[in-house]
Amino acid sequence: MSHQFPNLRVFTCTPVDFAGDESFFSRESGMFCRGLRSMGVDSLAIMPGPARLGDDPLLIRTDAENLIDAAWWRGHGLDAVILYSWAAPRYTPIAAAIKKAGIRLMVCMDTCGVISPHSNSRAWFHDLPKRILLERPFGKGKIRDLAKYLVETLASPIARARIHHYRQADIVTVPTPDGADWVRREARCLGDDELASKFRYQPHPQSPKFLYSGVSKEKLIISMARWNPEDWAQKSPRVLIETYRRFLAVKPAWKGLIIGSGATKLLERLGMQVVDGLQFQERIDPDDVPALLDRASIGFWSSRWEGQQGTGAQALCCGCSVVSHGTPMMSCFRHYVSRDSGRLARSNTPENLSTALTLEAHAWEKGERNPFSIATIWGSEFHAGEVASRALAFLDLAPVA
In a domain, 314, yes or no: yes
Q: What are phi and psi of 280, to 5 degrees?
A: -130, 140
Q: Is the dihedral of CA 390, 393, 394, 400 positive or negative?
A: negative
Shared domain for 234 and 362, answered yes or no, is yes
Residue 287 contacts by C-beta under 8 Å, 6 or more apart in sequence?
none
In a domain, 131, yes or no: no
- Tally of CA atoms within 13 A in the half-sphere of 189 that contains its CB: 16
Whole-number pLDDT of residue 253: 98
Shared domain for 35 and 177, answered yes or no, is yes
Model confidence pLDDT, tens digit, residues 320-375: 999 999 899 899 999 999 999 999 999 999 999 999 999 999 999 999 999 999 99
398: pLDDT confidence band, cut at 50, 70 and 90? confident
Whole-number pLDDT of residue 135: 47
Task: For residue 348, give the CATH number of its domain.
Answer: 3.40.50.2000
* Domain count within the chain: 2
Shared domain for 297 and 262, answered yes or no, is yes
Shared domain for 72 and 95, answered yes or no, is yes
In a domain, 360, yes or no: yes
Partner residues linked to 42 by β-bridges = 9
User: What range defines the domain where residue 57 resides?
Assistant: 10-114+154-207+384-394
Task: Decide if pLDDT at 3 tops 60.
Answer: yes
In a domain, 90, yes or no: yes
Shared domain for 291 and 306, answered yes or no, is yes
Whole-number pLDDT of residue 150: 64
Shared domain for 299 and 172, answered yes or no, is no
Shared domain for 311 and 354, answered yes or no, is yes
How much is the average pLDDT of 275-280? 98
Shared domain for 171 and 256, answered yes or no, is no
Model confidence pLDDT, tens digit, residues 93-151: 999 999 999 999 999 999 999 988 888 888 877 776 555 554 455 555 556 666 655 65
In a domain, 133, yes or no: no
CA–CA gap between residue 12 and residue 30 (Å, rounded): 7
CA–CA gap between residue 177 and residue 121 (Å, rounded): 17
152: pLDDT confidence band, cut at 50, 70 and 90? low
Whole-number pLDDT of residue 396: 96
Shared domain for 50 and 26, answered yes or no, is yes
Task: Decide if pLDDT at 172 tops 80.
Answer: yes
In three-state form (DSSP H/G/I as H, E/B as E, the rest C), the secondary structure along the chain is CCCCCCCCEEEEECCCCCCCCHHHHCCHHHHHHHHHHHCCCECCEEEECCCCCCCCCCEEEECHHHHHCHHHHHCCCCCEEEECCCCCHHHHHHHHHHHHCCCEEEEECCCCCCCCCCCCHHHHHHCHHHHHHHHCCCCHHHHHHHHHHHHHHHCCHHHHHHHHHHHHCCEEEECCHHHHHHHHHHHHHHCCHHHHCCEEECCCCECCCCCCCCCCCCCEEEEECCCCHHHHHHHCHHHHHHHHHHHHHHCCCCEEEEECCCHHHHHHHHCCCCCCCEEEECCCCHHHHHHHHHHCCEEECCCCCCCCCHHHHHHHHCCCEEEEECCHHHHHHHHHCCCCCEEEECCCCHHHHHHHHHHHHHHHHCCCCCHHHHHHHHHHHHEHHHHHHHHHHHCCCCCCC
CA–CA gap between residue 7 and residue 255 (Å, rounded): 50
In a domain, 4, yes or no: no
CA–CA gap between residue 276 and residue 258 (Å, rounded): 13
Whole-number pLDDT of residue 116: 85
Shared domain for 50 and 86, answered yes or no, is yes
In a domain, 149, yes or no: no
Which residue did the predictor score with more confidence, 98 or 230? Answer: 98
Task: Decide if pLDDT at 316 tops 80.
Answer: yes
Mean pLDDT of the chain: 92
Rounded to two decimals, the pTM is 0.92
Shared domain for 343 and 224, answered yes or no, is yes
Name the pairing type of β-strands 171-174 and 199-201.
parallel
Whole-number pLDDT of residue 49: 96
CA–CA gap between residue 299 and residue 64 (Å, rounded): 39
Model confidence pLDDT, tens digit, residues 17-72: 999 999 999 999 999 999 999 999 999 999 999 999 999 999 999 999 999 999 99
In a domain, 2, yes or no: no
Shared domain for 166 and 20, answered yes or no, is yes
Whole-number pLDDT of residue 149: 59
